[in-house]
Structure 1
Amino acid sequence: MANKKKTTSKKTAAVAPQPINDQRPRKLKLALGILGLLVGIFICLAIVSYCVSWRADQDKVLTSGLSNFILHDHTPVANWGGRLGAALAHVFVFKGVGIAALAIGLWIAAFGLNILYGKKVVPVLRYMRWLSIVLLVLAPVMTYLFPHTSFAWGGAWGNVSIDYLNGLVGKAGTGMLLLSVAAFFAFVVFALDIRPLLQRAKRTANKVTSAIAPTPVNEEMPNEIVPPVKGERIRSTVMPEVDVPQPVTEKDWDMGLVEKPATGAAKGGTAMALANVHEDEDAPEIAQHEIPFDIEEPHEEDEETDISEADMLTEEEKEYQAYLATKNGSTVILNHDIPAKKTQPKQEFSFEVITQPDEAPAAPAIEHGGHISIEDGEPYAPELDLPNYKFPTLDLLEDRTNEVIQLDKEELEKNKNQIINTLRSFGIEIQRISATVGPTVTLYEIVPAEGVRISKIRNLEDDIALNLAALGIRIIAPIPGRGTIGIEVPNANKQIVSMRALLSSEKFVNTKMSLPIALGKKIDNENYIVDLATMPHLLMAGATGQGKSVGINAILVSLLYKKHPSQLKFVMVDPKKVELSIYRLIEKHFLAKLPNEEEAIITDTKKVIYTLNALCIEMDNRYELLKEAGTRNIKEYNEKFISRRLNPERGHKYLPFIVLVVDEFADLIMTAGKEVEVPIARLAQLARAVGIHLIIATQRPSVNVITGTIKANFPARMAFKVSAKVDSRTILDTGGAEQLVGRGDMLVSHGSELLRLQCAFVDTPEVEHIVEFIGKQRGYPSAFELPEYEGDDDDSKDKVVDLVNRDKLFEDCARLVVQSQNGSTSNLQRRFNLGYNRAGRIMDQLEAAGIVGPAMGSKPRDVLFHTDGELEQFLETLG
């Protein structure tokens, strides 16, 4: 027994340490996996940071050398990875394979992730054989696509290979060779199958051909084409084919992408139905209040429909259109007997509540989403620059249509009695009173008795507000064109105006405006949609937190839903750095910026000055084009260009609208003053005809910010709630903005009318969804570039003209430029292994010496010497 116990103990002693020995390799793998993951992430961060900070760090790396720069140099660097990250990124990108080096960091991180989890989370070994080929091919492609840029997109390998291939087979042969390699990777390596796309294109072509094919009227005239019926349209090709069943959702019906099946249709069949129309059970009911309404008959203009369209409608569609006509034309009337004084006989007053409910959703807000095509010989289409661009869909916005106006009979009755009693207490009798219920305020219109002075009622504003116990009482005496006096009283329950309802309304969908913007709803619940091109500039002001930023977002979202990227560009100035930064994702679609600028949304005051002056240069250039074309405005010019009556070889091009958005103008005036005010005034005075429009917002509407020069050129004003009457007079030249209730309640002065609106509400997450939807699509290679503007910097001028302390490589660079007849900074960087700053200084010295011409944006400079002999004689004169 003792021997057995000893044997057992020995076996136990031999087995017990075994888990410890097995755990060591596991911990080692864990450490190696974490190390590989972190190293890969570090390399990726260093390379990404290098794309931003390479100008600041490149000269330091080249001057000190790699080992000395990493170990001994203590100069601060801008790279996120410090000196090590700057050195690694310099080796991988500048001396390596350019931006393709990101694949190295990603591969190392994926390899570490596999070790960390102990299984193939990412199949790195399978793709390892293709990694080297991708690095070798992508670098030359990037260099070929961006030949004259300062940043080394393809690195040293890309530059060497492209130079060799250009000398071997020329630029055209190099392009065809790279295209062949790309096709090999697409169709052989990654097995891309384009047969479904070709089949769909073929079906689309057959469908369009059959739709537009000539139809003979009779056998005697087989070639006569029947003209299309008025109002008839060919449906978009993005609708699914009948013979290829696809899942259809309610979202597709709402957006008008597919046809809604009719009630009682045969199984497997389809029926024509109106797009974006819900069933009757989902539509809001008319009589949902406890007040007994008497609904009048609809107006005749609401019943007007196209005869050909009415004949083609189904029973369900006819019922829904009849419902819409009844709903939109409804007028609610309540009759009340108001007791008069005992000394007077009893008089009968009519108290009517006029409401105009929300418009029903119309056809899809954007009908031209999807693929765009044009045949040879047809007018020029600027949308073909981005043929696959799809407009944002309405489902990106939150649906707030259920938040309808609630009519409170007790509240209306109470306010009516309070107004009548207050006026009677001051000896003022009225003949009639009516109320229009809006989303935020209710307008009570009164007709005073004969002999009552209007000024007497206007002076009772505070007394009426006291009796009604309400904020924001505003008296309009008289209402222009109505012959009545208006008293605006805020509602107890305020309605949120849905941006989705405005964009889906028929007024916005079918508008012919150049730059339509949906601002909100008027007191009578009518959608207020105005053309920014006719304003032509907009001045917004109001206290902090009263809705200015939401108003700007509403304007920008309206334009994004209606305009193609080729038709509109934004220049955004955001001194607060947080309000407009959300739009940075659409930089390559809708934003414009200065050449060589990293950020499209401008936050630095000096860059704002440069941008405004660049806009002035763009304005002058556009006027020159209009002068040569013999047109007076951008609309006539673009129509001429689209009809191909202007020659692009003479500098003519399609001109998109440019909208300048300044979020906080007071800060710019405080920091820059006249340097900002002068170009703003120039643009406001002259830029309308060439399609440049301004939207300026400020929260401090004082006279030193909104000066007389600014106000004179901004006829359209938008005022949110302000704290003092003097601020309202500064914005609108009249009072009233200090009596608003806030949260989007605003006054709009456009033309000769002053309207009170409730601004449409669009939340920040909704804007994020819209810009993400646009940003994920293919855009232009870069943002729209404004003309280059050089400021009056005396120090920089002194450095440029100083040719005494020339760079050591000045003469060698001059010889290279003359021999190659190529005056580009990137060429000097590649040939002499220079940093961006040093190459730029040498190029400035060459310009000051008269060897090369001035900068021309992204194009190489003109070389003013043509032979080496001329250059050598000139260099001898310089000493």
Structure 2
Amino acid sequence: MATKSKKTSAKASKNGKKKIDGKGWKQEKDERIDWQKLARDERTWKIVGAVSLLASIFLFIAFTSYFFTWREDQSVVFSRGIGILFDGDRSVSNLLGRLGAYISHFFVHKCFGIASLLLCTFFFVVGVNLLFSRKVFSIWRNLKYVTLGLLVLSVSLAYVFGSGNDQFPFGGGVGSMISNSLKGALGTVGTGALLVLLAAGYFIWQFNPAFNLPERKKAAPPVLEQSTEEEEEEEEEQEEEDDAKLFIPVTKGNKLKPGDQVLNIEEPEEEGSMHDLQMVEREEEQEDEEEIGDEALTMEKEIVNDLFHRHDQLEVNDIPFHTLPVTPDPDPEPEPLPPVTPRTFTSGLELEIKTVPDAEPAEDGVDKVIENLPPYEPTLDLRDYKYPGLELLETHGSEKIIQDPAELETNKNQIIATLRNYSIEIQKISATVGPTVTLYEIVPAAGVRISRIKNLEDDIALSLAALGIRIIAPIPGKGTIGIEVPNVKKTVVSMKTLLASEKFQHNTFSLPIAIGKKIDNDNYIVDLASMPHLLMAGATGQGKSVGLNAILVSLLYKKHPSQMKFVLIDPKKVELSVYRHIEKHFLAKLPGEEEAIITDTKKVVHTLNALCIEMDNRYDLLKEAGARNIKEYNEKFVKRKLNPQKGHQYLPFIVLVIDEFADLIMTAGKEVEMPIARLAQLARAIGIHLIIATQRPSVNIITGTIKANFPARIAFKVSSKIDSRTILDTGGAEQLIGKGDMLISHNGEVTRLQCAFVDTPEVEEVVDCISGQRGYPQAFLLPEYVDEKELEGKDFDSADRDSLFGDAARLIVQNQVGSTSLLQRRMKLGYNRAGRLMDQLEAAGIVGPNQGSKSRDVLIKTEMELQERLDMLG
């Protein structure tokens, strides 16, 4: 038995096998060198460049030394030939020894003579180009010049200086042979004429000199002629691209943003006046709303896109690529502000108005709306895509804030009188007029408790006979108490004004959204990626759908289809249906679905779980890339540091929009809440952001799990203070006046805004502008999700294989890696389906059994063998 065991062990060692756990045998894997990958490695080319550069220096020293030592070394080389390299007893005078003497004798004496020095230039150009990754001169063009130069120069030198055993071989053996043949055929004179013609042609071809006759005009200024090589460049363009390394400097032009200027005019108080009402009004600067696609910008984009297209043909691990600089023109100098005279009302109080006049419209070409050029080449998939123009939107009403001095004076007097009725004195009062509400700021007298004023909210509302009085005690960051009073005449905030503003056009946000204007008339533009999720709630008809449209239109105006995708869920079936026409540009859906707008509750559950699978797959990609978030990952992918053959790809942002969340919770419950909570907890880093709207902000709809992961919240008018606290964790939303009046909680601050208004026809115009352009062949496909409940109790049947069985088998055989995670990433599958596919592949004999944390062995090595196995399985 011992002898048999030893024989078995020896046989196993001979066959290259090893024993595992004393039970089975496993074939050791042969380590193979990937020559194709090695040839693409940048380090390989640098090594080749260094060797080539050293070869040029070696040849130059050897040839130069030969010019002075050829007589001493010639006899030795003639007598021994190549054997001189191995003869240690022989000594030579060449600076590079026996090898230098032999190589010099071969090239100079036997081949091309002095013209052999041209070989040094060829190796020098190759070495510098590859070692320093910088094109000094075209390798292919230099090769042609060297080849023709060797022939023409060697024959010419042999013809002029002749040849003989005792003479220096100026033309070398090749030159002397060709020269003697030409002399025999054409004679001495004919050969000389031919060589002069060839030398002149070679000189003109290489240097292209300009032959200009002197002009006879007396007063003509000198004209500088520039030599061109048009025909030559067209013929050699393809050869130059083979070894060209393209570098474009990165330069960014930043456009200065002028700050708001407020003119403060202080007037002396009249005697007997107790309070001054200072009204502060800030008006939006009128931006120049010229179209984005002017001719100069279009030409610049085409140049950059063409360069991107050329760069796309390079290898994956090539050098990074950047965009051309685009520097906007500076803003014109602001006009000096005109003086503002105080107005005196019947109450005897002076009203000091602080205002900013409308800015003069910018001159043509000075302040044009310029979109940032896309920094990544996947935008070339839709290289002709044009961003929607501002002319598609309408300006609703007048953007100028309407002031009613009588209304301001009346409200001021009522506030002062009401507070005096409760023995509360104030030191100062001022007013800031906004689009829909006016903020009265008061400074109470010393010793007055803030809580006393806060408790008088209903009394002040009664005295002003106004709906929606809201007291902010105190205003964060100020030593004042704010009283928000609705205006009698309200101003509509149009979406066009926000999108044309400087703040929106020239921001660095990943997902910029323009929501509305604050009370001080300042545009409220934030980054959705920093929120990172948004919860919107409010009663029916208070502006939630308009707010959703404002957010979506903002993103459509700023992002390219390759950079962002929408997942739209609309249980009401009518609110988001207008966006169905941009399915092939911006929408994402499940494979096999006809409609990209999800309305069925069952499909909603599948879509949310598919997003969870996409999230897990993206985290796997980030782990392999060593990146912490989508921004770092895409930056590495742009710089060609990630290989697409390993499953890496450019990751677009995904924005999930749910219009009526309460309906989904009522019909699906936990099946919807759990994936929503999981996405809200984890999806921020990989670029998936959620926008959820509901008209029922109750605790059973907006649970604690959801609220904890939605730090940014928007509240439109609600019916009770309880609903306000459910959304914002504070009251105030019940005091809003509706029609877009809203409170937004972001970064721990609650701000009152007037939502931007964008009408349905405007949204349709924007959608038509996008849908009329060339899009992708299909919508962005999410990973396929299979409900595990439908597959419970079903045993594996070899005849009932998965529809993706063949594709999975080819993927495994091509990569020779039996990994379930590989199927998940490359085929966008969930873990359960990928595991089931792997079990089917094992049953079919394509992969080996499970080995724990290690990948399974791939039993089939070639695609031809795989096809035979699939045909046999039927």
How far residue 793 of structure 1 moved from its aligned partner, in angstroms, is: 2.6
Q: Does 1:367 align with 2:378?
A: no
Structure 2 gaps, min length 5: 1-229, 231-247, 257-286, 297-326, 815-835, 848-860
Pairs aligned (count): 529
SS class of match (1:641): helix
C-alpha distance in structure 2 between counterparts of 1:496 and 1:643, whole Å: 45
- 1:708 is aligned to 704
> Is the 8 Å Cα contact of residues 337 and 357 (structure 2) preserved in structure 1?
no
Map of 1:735 onto structure 2: 731
For 1:616, the equivalent position in structure 2 comes to 612
Which residue of 743, 750, 761 corresponds with 1:747? 743
1:322 and 2:358 correspond: no
| Helix, strand or coil at the partner of 1:767 | helix
Q: Take 1:864 and 1:800, find their aligned partners in 2: how far apart are those partners?
A: 29
Query: Are 1:669 and 2:705 an aligned pair?
Result: no
* Matching of residues 512-523 of structure 1 within 5 Å: 512-523=508-519
The answer to whether the 8 A contact 1:332-1:355 is kept is: no
- Displacement of 1:600 in angstroms is 0.7
Cα shift readout 1:464-521 (whole Å, capped 9, x = no counterpart): 1111111000001110111101000000010000100100000101111111100000
Which amino acid in structure 2 is aligned with residue 634 of structure 1?
I
Q: Which has the larger radius of gyration?
A: 2
What is the CA distance between 1:462 and its match in structure 2?
0.7
The 1:601–1:409 alpha-carbon spacing in structure 2 relative to 1, beyond 3 Å, is: same
- Please state whether the residue corresponding to 1:688 is helix, strand or coil: coil
Report the counterpart of residue 194 of structure 1 in structure 2. none
Map 1:471-486 → 2, pairs under 5 A: 471-486=467-482
1:719 to 711, 715, 722: 715
TM-score after normalising by structure 2: 0.55
2:282 aligned residue: none
Alignment-mate amino acid for residue 769 of structure 2: F
Aligned to 1:511: 507
Q: Measured at CA, do residues 358 and 547 of structure 1 come closer, stay the same or move farther in structure 2, by a change above 3 Å?
A: farther
Listed as ranges, the matches of 1:617-656 within 5 Å are 617-656=613-652
Give distance in 2, aligned partners of 1:817 and 1:505. Answer: 51
Shift of 1:629: 1.3
Shift of 1:646: 1.5
What residue in structure 2 maps to residue 766 of structure 1?
A: 762
Per the alignment, residue 439 of structure 1 pairs with 435
2:404 pairs with 405, 408, 421, which one? 408
In 2 relative to 1, CA 471–414 (structure 1 residues): closer, same or farther, beyond 3 Å?
same
Give the aligned partner of residue 545 of structure 1. Answer: 541
Amino acid at match of 1:580: L
Give 1:678's match in structure 2, choosing from 666, 674, 684.
674
Note if contact 2:288-2:369 (Cα within 8 Å) is conserved in structure 1.
no
In the other structure, the counterpart of 2:788 is 792
With normalisation by structure 1, the TM-score equals 0.55
Deviation of 1:624 (Å): 1.2
- Show the counterpart of 1:76: none
Deviation at 1:682, TM superposition (A): 0.8
Aligned AA for 1:409? P
CA spacing shift, 1:691–1:356, aligned 2, 3 Å: farther
Work out the CA distance in 1 between the residues paired with 2:398 and 2:662.
39
Q: Distance in 2 between matches of 1:727 and 1:853?
A: 59
Call closer, same or farther: CA 1:434–1:585 in 2, change over 3 Å.
Answer: same
Shift of 1:788: 1.1
Once residues 782 and 513 of structure 2 are traced to their aligned partners in structure 1, the CA distance between those partners, rounded to angstroms, is 25
1:425 aligns with 2:421: yes
Q: Is the 8 A contact 2:813 2:863 kept in 1?
A: no
Matched with 1:534 is 530
Pair 755,615 (structure 1): closer, same or farther in 2 beyond 3 Å: same
355 and 442 in structure 1: CA distance in 2 versus 1, 3 angstrom threshold: farther
The alpha-carbon distance between structure 1 residues 423 and 385, as it changes in their structure 2 partners (threshold 3 A), is same
Distance 2:806 2:254 in 1: 68
Cα distance change of structure 1 residues 570 and 458 upon mapping to structure 2, 3 Å threshold: same
For 1:510, the aligned partner's letter is H
Letter in 2 for 1:730: T
Matched AA of 2:749: E
The CA deviation at 1:254 is 2.2
Counterparts of 1:699 and 1:402, CA distance in 2: 31
Q: For each residue in 1:514-533, what CA deviation from the matched residue of structure 2 results, as whole angstroms up to 9, or x when unmatched?
A: 11100000000000001101
Matched AA of 1:644: R
Alpha-carbon distance in structure 2 between the residues aligned to 1:406 and 1:514: 35
CA distance in 2, matches of 1:502, 1:648: 39
Q: How far apart, CA to CA, are the structure 2 residues paired with 1:572 and 1:749?
A: 24
* CA–CA separation in structure 2 for the residues paired with 1:335 and 1:755: 32
Name the residue aligned to 1:255. Answer: 291
- In 2, the alpha carbon distance for the partners of 1:486 and 1:815 equals 69
Could you tell me which residue of structure 1 aligns to residue 690 of structure 2? Answer: 694
Listed one character per residue, the Cα deviations across residues 198-223 of structure 1 (whole Å, up to 9, x for unaligned) are: xxxxxxxx9xxxxxxxxxxxxxxxxx
User: Counterparts of 1:509 and 1:848 in 2: how far apart (Å)?
Assistant: 53
Cα shift readout 1:724-767 (whole Å, capped 9, x = no counterpart): 11000000000000000000000000012110000000000000
1:731 corresponds to which letter in structure 2? I
Which position in structure 2 is the counterpart of 1:574? 570
Which consecutive residues of structure 1, in runs of 5 or more, have no partner in the other structure?
1-205, 207-224, 234-250, 261-308, 340-348, 373-378, 824-842, 855-861
Say which is worse superposed, 589-598 or 351-360, in terms of deviation: 351-360
- When residues 761 and 771 of structure 1 are mapped into structure 2, their CA distance, relative to the original with a 3 A threshold, is same
- Please tell me whether residue 779 in structure 1 is matched to residue 775 in structure 2: yes
Q: Distance in 2 between matches of 1:576 and 1:389?
A: 31
Deviations 1:633-672 (A, max 9, x none): 1111111111112221221111111100000000111111
Residues 24-78 of structure 1: CA deviation (Å, up to 9, x unaligned): xxxxxxxxxxxxxxxxxxxxxxxxxxxxxxxxxxxxxxxxxxxxxxxxxxxxxxx
AA in 1 matched with 2:455? N
The question of whether the paired residues in 1 share the 8 Å contact of 2:654 and 2:688 is answered with: yes
C-alpha deviation, 1:392, in angstroms: 0.2
Q: Match for 1:254: what amino acid?
A: E
Measured against aligned partners, the alpha-carbon deviations of 1:103-137 in whole angstroms (never above 9, x if no partner) come to: xxxxxxxxxxxxxxxxxxxxxxxxxxxxxxxxxxx
What's the CA shift string for 1:665-721, capped at 9, x where partnerless?
001111111111111111111111111100000000000000000000000000000
The aligned runs of 1:29-44 (5 Å cut-off) are: none
Residues of 1 paired with 2:559 and 2:546: CA distance?
20
Among 752, 756, 760, the alignment partner of 2:752 is 756
Structure-2 separation of matches of 1:814 and 1:561: 42
Aligned-partner Cα distance in 1 for 2:566–2:870:
45
Displacement of 1:405 = 1.4
Mapped to 1, the partners of 2:863 and 2:588 lie a distance apart of: 32
Aligned-partner SS, 2:683: helix
Kindly indicate whether residue 497 of structure 2 is the aligned counterpart of residue 501 of structure 1.
Answer: yes
- 1:465 is aligned to 461
Secondary structure of the residue aligned to 1:588 is helix
Q: What SS class does the counterpart of residue 754 from structure 1 fall into? A: strand
Q: In 2, are the aligned partners of 1:593 and 1:783 still within 8 Å (CA)?
A: yes
Q: Is the 8 A contact 2:414 2:464 kept in 1?
A: yes
- Compute the RMSD of aligned alpha carbons: 4.2
SS in 2 for 1:435: strand
Partner of 1:826: none
- Evaluate the alpha carbon distance shift between residue 419 and residue 800 of structure 1 in structure 2; reply closer, same or farther with a 3 A threshold: same
How do 1:93-108 and structure 2 match up within 5 A? none
* Alignment correspondent of 2:579: 583
Q: Deviations over 1:364-404 (max 9, x none)?
A: 444358xx8xxxxxx85221111000000000001236342
